[in-house]
């Protein structure tokens, strides 16, 4: 066994052994190995070949990705000072190495030589895609820049990597620093018992009396949706809305302000785009995506806004009228979720909290795993591996007694873990020396942990999130493509990568599925059908407001990265202009949403947030095939349709264009009708 656990690639990551002090040695060793290999490959006089050139580079990339992936993952889920320091110390080295690779003219020329081979057109499609994608990525990495410009381009990439890490760290630190101690239990009226119990436990751990509220998302959402005290809702809304902004100086931490970080990120992205010969970062971002131009995306988003606006205006009018009946004369942002929940309860006779009692985590997981088995013939079984936290579980996927893949599930929020939910890869499917390495994924959520002696209870939204991230995981784990660079989610256009995840969410709205994954936390009773029918009737409750808000984010992102000059413009002024165009309610001037918009400043979605809408067209249309099967054969969990989805979408990864895969599954190009029907904007 390798002494340094980060350099042991024989099995799953050794989370029981790896320590921050292992990072410098492991990364230095791999980078030295990598530079030596690059030198050998570029000096080799033999013609480039798949086995002699592409595979050795891929093997190097696989080892470096797996070692650094452990460090990067721990920086996200166990952000303690030693791990943060280890990550930040090596991030410039990693970034510099990849920048060197991307600008290496020798490597670039050898990839182009492969594409020019007389028999290249007869290569397997997946291998051709690897070479074609590599040539594209070399160009986007500055391989064709003048030698005088390459050092500057590399310096930009290094600085951008550091700024993205700093953005996330500022947000996490600002989130963790804010607390509100409540000493009178009456102020917590309306909150769920487990939220109150958690607040009590947090206070006891901190050595204070009463209850401590935090900006962990389960707490924030519970307060905004259910706390009867309006001032309490306002306090948490304001704290959440101003995280990591200039208001952090009020807490004695001006260094947490993400304003300067955002400005510098935008300046550097624009400079890099201009060096590459593009007019904007948005143009660069769209090169590997399905959409062609920023103008095409902006037109798509504005069309969606136009379709959603009448519904959103009606939704807002309803909320304002209902709020007046609750004694709220002027509806404010911290009232929106609360009033909407009260209106939902009155109109559909159920509350989000009452519904949550039917979704204990063990039952939800059993339902999810049962769905996977019925659709794809894949069993999900408990497995064992070292983990980074006691709450983390490990599972394996089996088909016909053959191991397909494995995944970690890290389900709960905690103060060392960044917010949100995501899937990441720990290992890709690889054929190595006659044997096959199966893929491994991370599924990370931020649900409320168990409280009051009950299992963790998932809200319906958290159940949707779990299914969403599982869709990403299945895309990675069920691949049958082992060529490096196009296996699993690799090589999939960014605006299509959300297709499998959003597709999975649809099953949460089907009674056949939901009836098998519910049991009341106290009585064990399954969710009554009549209650589910009310939930289904409420599915599109205020869908116009929800869609318009997402369009606001996506349009802001695209305009920010296309026709915005960060040296003269102001980010908040652009956001205000977007809101005046598409929003129906404006937040207070002090709101600092961009300062926590990790998707575009630290999460890889810059000039790409629109992909959630773009892919939703694909996912809704794809799910319609299962609805058609249900009408014909009586079950939405139709195995033949599931096998086709597996064969044409999930298993092919990035080995062919996403549109080609979609057409292979549906037999035609995608249509927006299913999306509009799912959102209640056209009749079913």
Q: What is the DSSP letter of 256?
A: G
Burial of 345 (0-12, 13-18, 19+ CB in 10 A): middle
CA distance 232 to 182: 10
One of 169, 283, 353, 469 is an active-site residue; which one? 469
469 is catalytic: yes
Note the Cα 386 to chain centre separation in Å: 24
The DSSP H or E segment spanning 182 is: strand 179-182
Give phi and psi for 486, each to the nearest 5.
-135, 15
Buried b or exposed e, range 350-366, using 16+ CB within 10 angstroms = bbbbebbbbbbbebbbe
Pick from 25, 154, 27: which is nearest to 98 by CA? 154
CA distance 610 to 298: 9
Give phi and psi for 372, each to the nearest 5.
-60, -40
Pick from 18, 130, 66, 219: which is nearest to 483 by CA? 130
The answer to whether 619 touches 628, Cβ cutoff 8 Å, is no
Strand duo 402-412 + 440-447: pairing: parallel
Question: Which residue blocks in 214-357 are alpha helix, DSSP H?
Answer: 217-226, 230-241, 259-275, 281-286, 294-325, 333-348, 352-356
Q: Which three-class secondary structure string do you get for 31-52?
A: HHHHHHHHHHHHHCCCCCCHHH
Strand duo 422-427 + 440-447: pairing: antiparallel
Pick from 520, 251, 491: which is nearest to 364 by CA? 520
Strand duo 422-427 + 402-412: pairing: unpaired
The answer to whether 415 touches 74, Cβ cutoff 8 Å, is no
Structure tokens given for 588: 């207070």
The 10 Å Cβ neighbour count of residue 556 is 25
The 10 Å Cβ neighbour count of residue 456 is 21
What 3-state class would DSSP assign to 397?
strand
The answer to whether 549 touches 311, Cβ cutoff 8 Å, is no
CA distance 609 to 562: 13
CA distance 184 to 485: 57
Contacts of 499 (CB under 8 A, 6+ apart): 615, 618, 619, 622, 649, 658, 662
CA distance 231 to 254: 26
Strand partners of residue 460:
none
Burial of 48 (0-12, 13-18, 19+ CB in 10 A): buried
Q: Which residues are catalytic?
A: 469
């Amino acid at each position: 066994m390798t002494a340094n656990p980060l350099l042991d690639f024989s099995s799953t990551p050794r989370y029981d052994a790896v320590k921050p002090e292992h990072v410098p040695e492991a990364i230095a060793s791999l980078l030295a190995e990598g530079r030596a290999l690059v030198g050998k490959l570029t000096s080799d006089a033999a013609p480039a070949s798949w086995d002699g050139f592409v595979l050795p580079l891929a093997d190097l990339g696989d080892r470096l990705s797996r070692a650094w992936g452990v460090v990067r993952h721990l920086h996200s889920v166990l952000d303690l000072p030693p791990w943060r320091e280890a990550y930040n110390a090596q991030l410039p080295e990693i970034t510099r190495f990849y920048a060197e690779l991307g600008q290496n003219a020798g490597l670039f020329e050898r990839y182009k030589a492969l594409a020019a081979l007389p028999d290249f057109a007869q290569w397997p499609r997946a291998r051709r895609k690897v070479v074609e994608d590599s040539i594209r990525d070399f160009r986007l990495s500055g391989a064709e820049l003048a030698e005088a410009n390459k050092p500057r381009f590399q310096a930009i990439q290094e600085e951008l990597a550091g700024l993205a890490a700093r953005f996330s760290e500022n947000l996490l630190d600002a989130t963790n620093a804010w607390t509100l101690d409540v000493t009178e239990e009456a102020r917590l009226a309306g909150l769920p018992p487990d939220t109150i119990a958690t607040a009590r436990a947090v206070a006891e751990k901190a050595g204070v009396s009463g209850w401590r509220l935090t900006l962990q998302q389960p707490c924030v959402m519970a307060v905004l949706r259910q706390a009867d005290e309006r001032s309490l809702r306002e306090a948490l809304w304001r704290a959440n809305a101003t995280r990591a902004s200039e208001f952090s100086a009020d807490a004695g931490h001006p260094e947490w302000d993400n304003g300067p970080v955002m400005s510098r990120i935008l300046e550097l992205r624009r400079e890099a785009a201009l060096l590459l010969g593009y007019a904007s970062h948005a143009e660069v971002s769209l090169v590997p995506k399905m959409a062609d131009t920023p103008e095409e995306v902006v037109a798509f988003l504005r069309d969606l806004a136009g379709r959603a606006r009448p519904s959103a205006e009606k939704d807002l009018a309803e909320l304002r009228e209902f709020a007046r009946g609750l004694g709220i004369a002027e509806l404010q942002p911290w009232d929106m979720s609360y009033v909407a929940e009260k209106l939902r309860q009155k109109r559909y006779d159920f509350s989000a909290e009452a519904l949550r009692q039917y979704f204990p985590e063990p039952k939800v997981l059993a339902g999810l795993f049962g769905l996977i088995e019925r659709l794809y013939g894949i069993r999900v079984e408990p497995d064992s591996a070292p983990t980074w936290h006691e709450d983390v579980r490990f599972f394996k996927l089996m088909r016909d007694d053959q191991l397909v893949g494995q995944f970690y599930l890290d389900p709960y929020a905690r103060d060392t873990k960044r917010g949100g939910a995501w899937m990441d890869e720990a290992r890709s499917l690889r054929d190595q020396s006659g044997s096959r390495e199966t893929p491994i994924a991370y599924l990370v959520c931020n649900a409320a942990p168990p409280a009051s002696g009950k299992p963790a209870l998932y809200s319906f939204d958290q159940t949707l999130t779990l299914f969403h991230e599982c869709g990403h995981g299945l895309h990675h784990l069920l691949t049958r493509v082992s060529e490096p660079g196009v296996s699993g989610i690799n090589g999939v256009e960014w605006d299509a990568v959300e297709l499998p995840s959003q597709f999975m969410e649809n099953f949460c709205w089907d009674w056949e599925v939901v009836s098998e994954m519910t049991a009341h936390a106290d009585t064990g009773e399954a969710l009554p059908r009549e209650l589910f029918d009310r939930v289904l009737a409420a599915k599109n409750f205020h869908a116009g407001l929800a869609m318009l808000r997402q369009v606001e984010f996506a349009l802001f992102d695209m305009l920010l990265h296309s026709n915005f000059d960060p040296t003269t413009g102001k980010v908040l002024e652009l956001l205000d202009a977007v809101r005046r165009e598409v929003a129906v309610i404006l937040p207070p001037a002090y709101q600092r949403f961009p300062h926590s918009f990790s998707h575009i400043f630290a999460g890889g979605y810059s000039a790409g947030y629109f992909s959630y809408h773009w892919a939703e067209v694909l996912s809704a249309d794809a799910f319609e095939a299962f609805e058609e099967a249900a009408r014909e054969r009586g079950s939405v969990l139709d195995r033949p349709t599931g096998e086709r989805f597996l064969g044409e979408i999930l298993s092919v990864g990035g080995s062919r264009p996403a549109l080609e895969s979609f057409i292979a599954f549906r037999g035609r190009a995608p249509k927006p009708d299913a999306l509009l029907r799912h959102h209640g904007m056209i009749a079913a």
